[in-house]
Structure 1
Amino acid sequence: MEAIIEMKHVSKMFKDKKAVNDLSFRIEKGSVTAILGPNGAGKTTALSMILGLLEPTEGEIKVFGKAPKDQSVRDKTGAMLQEVSIMDRLKVREVLDLIRSYYPNPMDMESLITLTGLQDSDLKRYAEKLSGGQKRSLGFALAMAGNPDLLFFDEPTVGLDITARRRFWDSVRKLAGQGKTIIFTTHYLQEADDTADRILLFHKGALVADGTPDEIKSRIVKRSVSFMPRQDGPGFRQRLKALPLLTDHYDRDGRIYVNTDDTDLALESIFAEKLEVRDIRIDQGRLDEAFEQLTVNQEEAV
């Protein structure tokens, strides 16, 4: 598939600190990629270099096959950063009209309003008078004003209520369905798990994991089967402990959880031994567990 972004051995130094360390990856057209990592992991620095706001100390970055600062690249790129500076004494509609005028093929105003959830009443207000959530919606609209093919969202749902968050991610999925390429950062790991096709996990400026959410969880986190015993007791526990595919088990919230590398075979062994259990559930692991293992204990994960 067509590569929209290519990073080859990119590093960035700030005085004596290496904020980004030898990054290499490709992002393909129409994909939704989440860049995750703890504070100070290098996420914002990497995005800033891709956007042409910072120059790499080493390595090469290509966006649409060109340098990030190329005007043709900027015409096809939209960004919603954590802090959105809005000009005072301009109404929301005036701000949007101004930004749209900078692009050769801007998104029409009606589509922009529908996509971002702005209300007619919002358009008539001065931009600096908007609430925090409304300003985030305006930031989304400004990112979309040029009808870009490549979008960057840096912590896009901070300050949004549940309804606004859901509407935002529904809009992101629609944009991806139109073939637009989307990159976002978030501290809400469930958003990445639900929305991203691919996750790039950063730690101390380096890329420590790259894959789909399920691939990352399956590599790092033990899967588990949980159930309720029909009749618990020492005999049941001994039979459970003797099953060959179960690495350990524990109790939580009235349920028994057993960790395993293969949930299908674990269930087969439970049924083969005729253990009397009910209300069986399979837990594939959570992204926050993978995140913690990779960033807190990186050597073990690698």
Structure 2
Amino acid sequence: MKLFLKTKDFSVSKEGFELLFDTELEMLVTHPQPENLASYYESETYISHTDSKASLTDRLYQLVKRYSIKKKIQLVENQIVKSKKLLDFGAGTGDFLAQSKAKGFKVNGVEPNDKARTHAAKKGIPLFKDATEIQNETFDVITLWHVLEHLPNLDEQLEQFNTLLDANGTLIVAVPNYKSYDAKHYGSHWAAYDVPRHLWHFSKTSIIRLFDKHRMEVVSIKPMIFDAFYVSLLSEKYKGNKMYLINAFFVGLWSNLRAYFSKEFSSLIYIIKKKN
């Protein structure tokens, strides 16, 4: 694999990392991948493991999260669902599952972070720490909202999804897209690289090839419009720009306008089915 980009962990450790290009899958790989990954999540600034509203960025995140959850549930409801059994990987503090439960879904979730699981439990959503705790069950819908990029042992994880997914079930995977305009614009400061927590960085081609290896196929791809704005906001802050709100708005807007034609949005949602 050849060097694609050098970047660093802007939010926690400030350590430098490389992104290597995997030519077979058209995927970027974080190098090195630390053995003690859990320590890179131990920060009050890692918002998906908290319900923080302390800063303006936190409040914007929570506002967008509430809207996004409604859209996610609509997307799940549009799938062919037999028994409404839903499994969410990387469930965070449980908000998506709590609202899905209120809509009549039978919900389960996996979240390795102790702090996030505690928040979820307070909302009446107990979570598994590891998917190996799930025995003799399959699910109509399995969701990974910005989770796949975090998972070590990627091939093992995809085989696990295949086992847990019902024969006619749907796997929904949302990940950042390193071929988006905002990724190219911010380069090493692009917040969605988020090394080393993000171990893998995907394009449309890499997702299609990766799941094809595991007897699954992408049947539809949908954009996540708000991600361009939020990622641009964080990227501007990483650059130390005091005008981060204004700049982020225009970069996010331009990224979405370009993506309207190129289809290379900042983040993409993949609807995936088992091959017949």
Instruction: Tell me the TM-score normalized by structure 2.
Output: 0.25
- Bigger strand share: 1
- Bigger helix share: 2
